[in-house]
Amino acid sequence: MGPVDSSRIPRYAGPATFARLPRLDEVGGRTDVAVVGVPFDTGVSYRPGARFGGNAIREASRLLRPYNPAQDASPFALAQVADAGDIAANPFNINEAVETIEAAADDLLGSGARMMTLGGDHTIALPLLRSVAKKHGPVALLHFDAHLDTWDTYFGAEYTHGTPFRRAVEEGILDTSALSHVGTRGPLYGKKDLTDDEKMGFGIVTSADVYRRGADEIADQLRQRIGDRPLYISIDIDCLDPAHAPGTGTPEAGGMTSRELLEILRGLASCNLVSADVVEVAPAYDHAEITAVAASHTAYELTTIMSRQIADARG
C-alpha cells in the first residue's frame, strides 16, 4: 500500500503521515520500513523543542513524490513503508524514556521492520542502537553531526544528547572498526574531546573536509570503511549549516549544505543499512520549514536505500 495520490487529493489535506504513507494499522500492523516518531527532548543542553521535530518533518514531507530519480527507485513501491506513529517517551524521566524507546524499537525490529526514526533529541540514538545491536550484533555507525556526542556527562547525567555514542561504545554495541563522524566542526571543551573520541575508534570527516574533497570522494572513503557490515546511520540535522537548518537546538556555523548531505547518502546506497534516525529538528527556531524540508528529504533518501535493499534481497 503506497502513499495518497497527490494528483487526486490535495497534498495539504488530511492529517500528516510521513510522505502521506499509510499508518502501520492500515497495513495490518506489519511493514518493511517503519517510520516512527520519538517526541522526546529532555536530554538537551541548550534550546529545547526537538520533541516537535517528528511532526514537523511529517508536515514538510507532504511534498515528497513517489519516484526518487537520484537513486532511480520508487521506494514505496519496492517495499512496504508505513508510518508507525510516535513512541510515548516519558518527558519527566530520562531513564524511563530510554527504556521505553528501546522496548518499542525491540517490537518494531522484532516484527522484521527496519526503522526510520524521526527525533527527538540525540539521546534517543542510544536505545535505538541497543535494540539494533540485539538483532544484528555490534553495528557500524555513520554519525552526521556538528558535534561528537561522545562526551561523558552533563550535570552528572549519563543519558543526554551530547553523550549517546560514548555510552554505546562503553556498552559494546558498536563495531569499533567502522565508526565515523561526518560534518564535525565548532568549538570543543578541550583537545581531550578529540583524543577520547579517537580512542573510542571514531574517524572524523569535518564539514571543511566535505567542502574541500567533495561528496563523492567522502562517500567512497566511508563506503570502504563500512564494507558489508550492518550499518546504522544517525543524522543530527545540525550537521547542516544553520543557513540550511536553522531549526535546531545547538547550531554551529560553517556546516555542510543539504546538497552535500544528500549526495553523500546517495553514494552509500550499496551499504547494508539496517536502520537510521534523523534527530534534533526543533521547529520553533525554523523558518519556512527550511529545516523540516531538509530533514524530510534526508529521511526520504535513507528510506530509499532501505527499500532498495529489501527489494534486492527478495530478488
Ligand X SMILES: N=C(N)NCCCC(=O)O
Under the binding rule (CB under 6 A), the answer on residue 277 touching ligand X is no
* Residues 6 or more apart whose Cβ sits within 8 Å of residue 219: 263, 264, 266, 267, 268
Cα separation, 130 vs 213, in Å, equals: 33
Task: Out of 41, 197, 236, 260, name the contact with ligand X by CB under 6 A.
Answer: 236
Site for Zn ion in 18-57 (CB under 5 A): none
Q: Decide: is 147 part of the binding site for ligand X (CB under 6 A).
A: yes
Is 121 a binding residue for Zn ion by CB under 5 A? The answer is no
Which position among 122, 136, 167, 185 is part of the footprint of Zn ion (CB under 5 A)? 122
When the beta carbons of 162 and 242 are compared against ligand X, the nearer one is 162
Q: Which three cell numbers stand for residue 285?
A: 527556531
Amino acid identity for residue 226 in this structure: I
220-259 footprint of Zn ion as x/- string (CB under 5 A): ----------------x-x---------------------
- Quick check: bond before 120 cis, omega within 30? yes
Nearer to ligand X, 50 or 87 (CB): 50
- Work out the number of other CB atoms within 10 angstroms of the CB of residue 170: 12
State the binding partner of 162 from Zn ion, ligand X, none, CB within 5 to 8 A by kind. ligand X
CB-nearer residue toward Zn ion: 152 or 220: 152
Cα gap 309→315, rounded to integer Å: 10
204 burial level (CB within 10 Å; 0-12, 13-18, 19+): middle
CB of 118 to ligand X, least distance (A): 15
Closest CB to Zn ion among residues 32, 197:
197
What's the residue count for the chain? Answer: 315
Amino acid identity, residue 265? L
Residue 102 binds ligand X (CB under 6 A)? no
Residue 252 near ligand X by CB under 6 A: no
Q: Which three cell numbers stand for residue 127?
A: 536505545
User: Which of the residues 176 through 235 are near ligand X (CB under 6 A)?
Assistant: none
Dihedral, CA atoms, 45, 233, 106, 50, nearest 10 degrees?
Answer: 30
Q: Is 162 in the site for ligand X (CB under 6 A)?
A: yes
Nearer to Zn ion, 97 or 146 (CB): 146
CB of 145 to Zn ion, least distance (A): 4
> How many whole angstroms from its chain centre is CA 82?
17
Q: Does 122 sit near ligand X (CB under 6 A)?
A: yes
Q: Please choose, from the candidates 235, 244, 281, the residue with its C-alpha nearest in 3D space to the C-alpha of residue 57.
A: 281
Q: How far is the CB of 242 from Zn ion (least distance, A)?
A: 12
How does DSSP classify residue 71?
A: G
- Of 35-54, which residues contact ligand X (CB under 6 A)? 45-46
Report residue 106 as a C-alpha cell: 525491540
Q: Interface residues with Zn ion (CB under 5 A)?
A: 122, 145-147, 149, 236, 238
Q: Interface residues with ligand X (CB under 6 A)?
A: 45-46, 122, 147, 149, 161-162, 236, 238, 249-250, 280
